[in-house]
């Protein structure tokens, strides 16, 4: 089943994101390589593809996991969690309806 991992950043998270971004992306790439990734990306803090120093307000990952518990465990292991980037992470089932 698909699960949405919805993360909210702490204020001024960009300096926390930068040092662990590669590790964060490597984990997501593993999901992609396994054919389990539906979509992933950050939420820019401003209405722009490149928010520059404004940074991001959070992230969204939708991927396939065996269970809600597996999805939560995967989310808990994110390098952004360890680095203090996220103030909150919500994991819940996701049902794709369209397109």
pLDDT-based confidence at residue 92 (cuts at 50, 70, 90)? very high
Residues, the chain: 99
DSSP for 63-96, please give it.
EE-SSHHHHHHHHHT-HHHHTT-EEEEEEEEE--
Quote the DSSP letter at residue 19. G
63-81: pLDDT as tens digits? 999 999 999 999 999 999 9
- Report the pLDDT averaged over residues 38-54: 97
Q: Give the pLDDT score at 65.
A: 98
CA 68 to chain centre: 16
- Spatial CA neighbour of 83 closest among 23, 20, 10, 41: 20
9-25: pLDDT as tens digits? 999 999 999 999 999 99
The percent of residues above 90 in pLDDT, for the chain, comes to: 100
The pTM score is 0.96
């Amino acid at each position: 089943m698909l699960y949405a991992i919805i993360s909210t950043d702490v204020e001024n998270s960009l300096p926390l994101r930068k040092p662990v971004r590669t590790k964060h992306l490597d984990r997501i790439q593993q999901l992609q390589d396994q054919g389990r990734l539906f979509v992933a990306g950050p939420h820019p803090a401003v209405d722009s593809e490149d928010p520059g120093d404004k940074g991001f307000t959070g992230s969204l990952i939708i991927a396939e996991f065996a269970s809600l518990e597996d999805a939560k465990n995967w989310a808990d292991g994110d390098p952004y969690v360890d680095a203090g980037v996220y103030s909150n992470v919500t994991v819940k089932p996701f049902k794709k309806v369209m397109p």
